[in-house]
Amino acid sequence: MHVLGARPNFVKAAPVIAALRTAGAEQAVVHTGQHYDARMSEIFFAELGLPEPDVNLGVGSGGHAEQTAALLIGLEGEFTSRSPALVMVYGDVNSTIAAALVAAKLHIPVAHVEAGLRSFDMTMPEEVNRRVTDQLSALCLVTSPEGIGHLAAEGVPVSRTHLVGNPMIDTLLANLDSFDTGRVRAEHGLPERYVLATVHRPANVDAPETASALVRHLHGVADLADLVIPVHPRGRANLLAAGLDDHPGVQILDPLGYIDFIAAVRGAAAVVTDSGGLQEETTILGVPCLTVRPNTERPITITHGTNRLVTFEELVPAARKALESGTPPADRRPPLWDGHAGPRIAEVIMEYLGE
């Protein structure tokens, strides 16, 4: 049983579900409804060829306690009635940790795709979710080599750990021909040259004063080049209240589907983000990425990719440098980011279930 709750989960799960289908596994999909906006959930199922969910719990938004409580109750009912042999969770959202907790207490083994990532910043809800999920998982499916060391340092037995590569990159490479920047530029009226931005982290958008400071520096980027920003539901009110759309060089979009969004990323002169997955996607697409965070759980995107961590104050100078330098030279890809993580994960799963 796959438990999916938010955009990154869908992108990672698609190649895993396809590979397990080929291997003959009987599967079920639970959509928790953590991302309830159709543009951030349903469209992804259609675009990525995911099967229709067997159930949608429809938990929606809310505080961490409220949302996680609803997830625990809903998932316990599904796991009890369906008795899966294995629960598969993805990434680090609240749906991930809730599924791991419920499965562990029902003595159902858990497989965690994207295990071992660490920012070492316990103020991030995602870091709490990652660490606890890995401790509860029978299979830790790791996307990059440093994750092996992190898990070992936390006492996770090596027998539970498998370096499989990054299924998000499987999805990216499988859809390369669909990322038509020209079409997306025409449909959404994007300028010829633009910086694309996405911001949604609580540390950046939840406090009005922080959101205002971020908007001030985003306006500085817009002084250099047009800034296109699909606004995530989280933080939308604070960012708009801070005057995000007051600058003539800022173009606000509603959230985009996967194909349109990555096409827009592919055509950008640079990306400004606080997302985790986008650091990985820009690494493969060769787009300069400025991550507005003090840390990243994906350091391999810095050593092997196009990513750079920046503070608010560093954002405009870094954007100027990225725009002047142009597309970085192609570098080597991180190990096993080759489009075949899904089949490797399926092999591990089928062997485990066979045993």
Q: Which pLDDT score is estimated for 296?
A: 97
Answer with the residue of higher pLDDT: 204 or 35.
204
* Residue 233 falls inside a structural domain: yes
Q: Which pLDDT score is estimated for 41?
A: 61
Q: Which residues contact 15 (CB under 8 A, 6 or more apart)?
A: 167, 170, 171, 174, 341, 342
* Residue 331 falls inside a structural domain: no
**Residue 36 clears pLDDT 60, i.e. is over it:** no
Same domain, yes or no: 119 and 224: no
* pLDDT tens digits along 177-204: 999 999 999 999 999 999 999 999 989 9
**Residue 38 clears pLDDT 60, i.e. is over it:** no
Q: What is the CATH number of the domain that holds 135?
A: 3.40.50.2000
Same domain, yes or no: 8 and 143: yes
Same domain, yes or no: 210 and 118: no
Amino acid at 213: A
Same domain, yes or no: 158 and 29: yes
Same domain, yes or no: 31 and 162: yes
**Residue 64 clears pLDDT 90, i.e. is over it:** no
The tally of domains found in the chain comes to: 2
**% the chain with pLDDT above 70:** 97
Same domain, yes or no: 7 and 86: yes
Q: Which structural domain range is residue 9 located in? A: 2-166+337-354
**Residue 61 clears pLDDT 80, i.e. is over it:** no
Q: Which pLDDT score is estimated for 331?
A: 64
CA distances from 299 to 9, 114, 229 (A): 20, 14, 24
* Residue 171 falls inside a structural domain: no
Region of residue 103 (left: phi > 0; alpha: psi -120 to 50; beta: else): alpha
- Record the tokens describing residue 133, joined without a space: 């999920």
Region of residue 232 (left: phi > 0; alpha: psi -120 to 50; beta: else): beta
**Residue 212 clears pLDDT 70, i.e. is over it:** yes
Same domain, yes or no: 260 and 348: no
Residue whose tokens read 């396809």:
18
The model's pTM is 0.94
Same domain, yes or no: 201 and 300: yes
* pLDDT tens digits along 273-313: 999 999 999 999 999 999 999 999 999 999 999 999 999 99
* Residue 209 falls inside a structural domain: yes
Mean predicted lDDT score pLDDT of the chain: 94
The bridge status of strand 289-291 relative to strand 307-309 is parallel
Q: Which pLDDT score is estimated for 232?
A: 79
Confidence of residue 7 (pLDDT cuts 50, 70, 90): confident
State the average pLDDT over residues 103-118.
98
* Residue 43 falls inside a structural domain: yes
Q: What are phi and psi of 129, to 5 degrees?
A: -60, -45
CA distances from 350 to 35, 157, 300 (A): 30, 20, 29
Confidence of residue 40 (pLDDT cuts 50, 70, 90): low
**Residue 220 clears pLDDT 90, i.e. is over it:** yes
SS3 category, 218: helix
Q: Which pLDDT score is estimated for 60?
A: 78
Answer with the residue of higher pLDDT: 219 or 43.
219
List 2, 31, 200, 304, catalytic entry = 200
Confidence of residue 39 (pLDDT cuts 50, 70, 90): low
Same domain, yes or no: 48 and 162: yes
- Report the candidate in 10, 5, 302 with the shortest Cα–Cα distance to residue 144: 302
Q: Which residues contact 3 (CB under 8 A, 6 or more apart)?
A: 9, 30, 32, 75, 87, 88, 89, 90, 95, 96, 99
Same domain, yes or no: 264 and 240: yes
Same domain, yes or no: 186 and 135: no
Q: Radius of gyration (Cα) for the chain, nearest Å? A: 20
Lowest mean pLDDT among 10-24, 77-91, 216-230, 331-345: 331-345
Same domain, yes or no: 197 and 102: no
Is residue 200 among the annotated active site residues? yes
* pLDDT tens digits along 146-162: 999 999 999 999 999 99
